[in-house]
């Protein structure tokens, strides 16, 4: 049996393992993550778009995740506090019930591990340390915990600080957003959450709100480094006052906040998705500002494109060839370049002072009043454009 090694055991790495194992490959996952017992656990939430839902359904985890709980949303409201402009996105524009679903990271991982544990073609190795990699035209040799492993292909899914990329000397194109993201859950006084996500822009600050319960949101607040430091160390009562001043007019009164976490925002885009027998996927290939909530969805789209590449160019008897690698490289670059450019444009548009507020408001109103423009934007953000274009007759939106 042919062999694939995947470095990285996050959501994208596990998805890639499940997908490639279906093509008659023996897959080994190398879990390189170091667990910090002193670091408190903070649940993460992801907004899953329609393409990601399609992938989850295809591998058989969607029904399991539904049982564990999710929060669908059919509307997004975004406003600029400085320009007093507002834009809304509604799933009715594209004739769908929902735009996406809010899921817990822990439940996604549990569902993937259940599939992996039952798959005889997948081996999961914990506490893996990568020592070196020899990348050849016909195969790849990786030394892990000082043991030699051979594979037909090595897939790097080990995050934005990818050890594989470092060893292979793959150049990433950095984008310093000069911001940190602070995440926390906020609880409202009343149960008035109605399947709506919110986004507030204010002089470069971005506050994204994902509905996670009947009276709770997950907040992702992007702000400059000095302000993030102040906010992170504020006591709860002072923080709640600021949040109510900013958000209560739209979502209602906030009465409590959870523990906070903080991380630096940095965008990267790899110079190459493939290098001989090594493929890069997910955050090992790209990271982007969280304002659109598309980071994980871009990684899942990589897995979707990886599967298409295998279906088109790899039969049971054939090995991975240059056509497969070139297809994956080309499609990932096209799709991710577009998304990264749009997100970076939106961030700069809302934070710039070069455009007067009245002009910003006028431009946003033109967009908000155009069903055609909003429909195209939704189709790109939800992944429907990718599904409709690449799956052709195999995809019917009425099923999803």
Q: How much is the pLDDT for 264? A: 96
Phi-psi category of residue 77: left, alpha or beta, with phi > 0 → left and psi -120 to 50 → alpha: beta
Q: How much is the pLDDT for 136? A: 83
Q: How much is the pLDDT for 321? A: 84
Pairing of strands 153-156, 278-280: parallel
Q: How much is the pLDDT for 398? A: 47
Q: Check the CA dihedral 279-35-128-130 and report its sign.
A: positive
The helix-helix angle for 50-59 and 384-391 (nearest 10°) equals 60
d(CA 276, CA 173): 20
d(CA 360, CA 352): 10
Regions of the chain where pLDDT drops below 50: 398-400
Q: How much is the pLDDT for 68? A: 86
Contact (Cβ atoms closer than 8 angstroms) between residue 83 and residue 364:
yes
Task: Determine how many CB atoms are found less than 10 A away from the CB of residue 119.
Answer: 15
Nearest to 293 by CA among 339, 325, 337, 333: 339
Contact (Cβ atoms closer than 8 angstroms) between residue 206 and residue 349:
no
Contact (Cβ atoms closer than 8 angstroms) between residue 222 and residue 181:
yes
Q: Max CA-CA distance within the chain? A: 64
Q: How much is the pLDDT for 117? A: 96
- Give the chain's length: 400
Nearest to 75 by CA among 209, 173, 226, 248: 209
Structure tokens that stand for 29 in this block: 């996952």
Q: What are phi and psi of 139, to 5 degrees?
A: -160, 175
d(CA 5, CA 21): 11
Q: How much is the pLDDT for 316? A: 60
Q: What is the pTM of this model?
A: 0.95
Q: How much is the pLDDT for 317? A: 60
Q: How much is the pLDDT for 38? A: 67
């Amino acid at each position: 049996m042919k062999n694939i090694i995947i470095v990285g055991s996050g959501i994208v790495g596990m998805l890639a393992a499940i997908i490639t194992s279906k093509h008659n490959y023996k897959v080994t996952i190398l879990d390189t993550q170091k667990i910090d017992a002193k670091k408190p656990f903070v649940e993460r939430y992801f907004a899953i778009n329609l393409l990601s839902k399609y992938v989850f359904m295809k591998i058989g985890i969607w029904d399991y995740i539904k049982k564990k709980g999710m929060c669908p949303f059919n509307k997004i409201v975004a406003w600029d506090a400085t320009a007093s402009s507002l834009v809304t996105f509604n799933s009715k524009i594209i004739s769908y019930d929902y735009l996406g679903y809010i899921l817990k990271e822990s439940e996604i991982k549990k569902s993937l591990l259940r599939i992996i544990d039952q798959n005889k073609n997948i081996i999961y190795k914990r506490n893996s340390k990568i020592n070196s990699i020899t990348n050849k035209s016909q195969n790849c040799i990786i030394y892990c915990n000082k043991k030699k492993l051979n594979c037909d292909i090595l897939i790097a899914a080990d995050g934005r600080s990818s050890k594989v990329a470092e060893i292979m000397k793959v150049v990433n194109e950095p984008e310093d957003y000069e911001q940190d993201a602070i995440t926390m859950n906020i609880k409202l006084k009343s149960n008035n959450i109605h399947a709506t996500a919110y986004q507030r822009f204010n002089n470069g600050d971005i506050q994204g709100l994902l509905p996670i319960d009947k009276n709770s949101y997950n907040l992702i607040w992007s702000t400059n480094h000095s302000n993030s430091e102040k906010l992170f160390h504020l006591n709860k009562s002072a923080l709640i006052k600021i949040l109510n001043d900013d958000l209560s007019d739209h979502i209602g009164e906030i009465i409590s906040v959870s523990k906070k976490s903080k991380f630096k925002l940095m965008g990267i885009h790899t110079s190459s998705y493939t290098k001989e027998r090594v493929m890069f996927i997910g955050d090992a290939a790209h990271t982007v500002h969280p304002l659109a909530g598309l980071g994980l969805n871009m990684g899942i789209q990589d897995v979707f494109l990886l599967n298409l590449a295998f279906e088109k160019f790899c039969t049971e008897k054939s090995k991975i060839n240059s056509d497969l690698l070139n297809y994956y490289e080309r499609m990932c670059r096209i799709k991710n370049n577009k998304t990264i450019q749009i997100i970076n444009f939106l961030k700069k548009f809302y934070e710039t002072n070069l455009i007067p507020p009245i002009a910003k408001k006028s431009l946003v109103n033109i967009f908000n009043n155009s069903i055609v423009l909003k429909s195209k934007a939704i189709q790109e953000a939800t992944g429907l454009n990718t599904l409709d274009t690449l799956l052709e007759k195999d995809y019917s939106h009425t099923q999803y």
